[in-house]
Amino acid sequence: MELEGRVAIVTGGAVGTGRAIAERLAAEGAVVAIADVDDAGAGETVGRIANAGGRAERVHADARAAGDLADLVAFAVRNLGGLDVLVNNAGGGGHVPPHFPDASPAEWGATLDLNLRGAMLATQLALEPMAAAGGGAIVNVASTAGLGLAPYACPEYAAAKAGLIRFTSTLAGLRERMGVRVNCVVPDWVLTERAEADLAAMAPAGRAAAPEPLPLAALTDAVVAFVADEDAAGRVVVLRGGAPPRLLPAEEPDAP
């Protein structure tokens, strides 16, 4: 899919990875709806895109709120002319304790809602307008926290990201059924402004021990590549600093 003239939604687009993805999509010619609860940050993203010659609109939306997500999709269709691309980038909550089992069900449930349920619902809401327009592309942004079997400090965050990866792979059949391709990028530590601040605050030994962060451009390249690749559906790519992208193999369904 060529992005010129397309309509895209990026959730969590106010800062960090979401801002970088939104700016890249706009630079490729898409009109971008910047969805976030951070109105000031989303407005700054819109301004940055406008200053670079692109077009974007700010939409207040909480990825945990079904009504907000429904209004977001309706806004894109009504005000921007349709919906061609959805990037489910909103997420977080894995760094600040308490975590499961010390967190309350409401606390760890909110992390699941933000990192998994919100992406599932946004995907479901996007399918009808995308199919009606002849197809579309959805890219989920997971995390390497969802890979492997090692212990993790925030179990609910790791479980949500693992679920997002598996959710993506189960939807490969939507390409044939509805013309909608769902794929997933799985970045490790990304060099956002927050990561730069964390690195600057570390002692030399901590910086030496830290993993090499992933450049933002590597993440946005992977998102754009999935949007462009008309054959990719249900695929998952792992991104780590200092290493080439690793496309996970598409597995055959388990035998009954």
Give the residue numbers annotated as catalytic, written as ranges: 157
* Alpha carbons 17 and 219: distance in angstroms, whole number: 8
pLDDT band at 20 (very low <50, low <70, confident <90, very high): very high
Given a cut of 50, whether residue 209 has pLDDT beyond it is yes
Q: Which of 1, 20, 3 lies closest to 187, judged by CA?
A: 20
Tens digit of each residue's pLDDT (9 = 90 or more) over 45-80? 999 999 999 999 999 999 999 999 999 999 999 999
Tens digit of each residue's pLDDT (9 = 90 or more) over 129-166? 999 999 999 999 999 999 999 999 999 999 999 999 99
Residues with Cβ within 8 Å of 199's Cβ and at least 6 positions away in sequence, in order, are 207, 210, 213
Q: Taking residues 224-238, what's their average pLDDT?
A: 98
7-238: CATH number: 3.40.50.720
Tens digit of each residue's pLDDT (9 = 90 or more) over 83-112? 999 999 999 987 889 999 999 999 999 999
Distances (CA, A) of 246 to 37, 76, 165, 186, 241: 32, 33, 14, 10, 12
pLDDT the model gives residue 176: 97
CB 131, CB 180: distance < 8 Å: yes
Q: Which of 112, 216, 101, 204 lies closest to 158, judged by CA?
A: 112
Given a cut of 90, whether residue 192 has pLDDT beyond it is no
pLDDT band at 255 (very low <50, low <70, confident <90, very high): very low
CB 245, CB 185: distance < 8 Å: no
One-letter identity of residue 131: A
CB 37, CB 61: distance < 8 Å: yes
Residues with Cβ within 8 Å of 179's Cβ and at least 6 positions away in sequence, in order, are 130, 131, 134, 135, 136
% residues pLDDT > 90 (the chain): 86
| DSSP-assigned letter for residue 80 | I
Q: Taking residues 5-32, what's their average pLDDT?
A: 98
74-80 long-range contacts, Cβ below 8 Å, gap at least 24? 75/33, 76/7, 76/9, 76/33, 76/129, 77/129, 80/7, 80/31, 80/33
pTM: 0.94
* Alpha carbons 108 and 129: distance in angstroms, whole number: 32
pLDDT band at 252 (very low <50, low <70, confident <90, very high): low
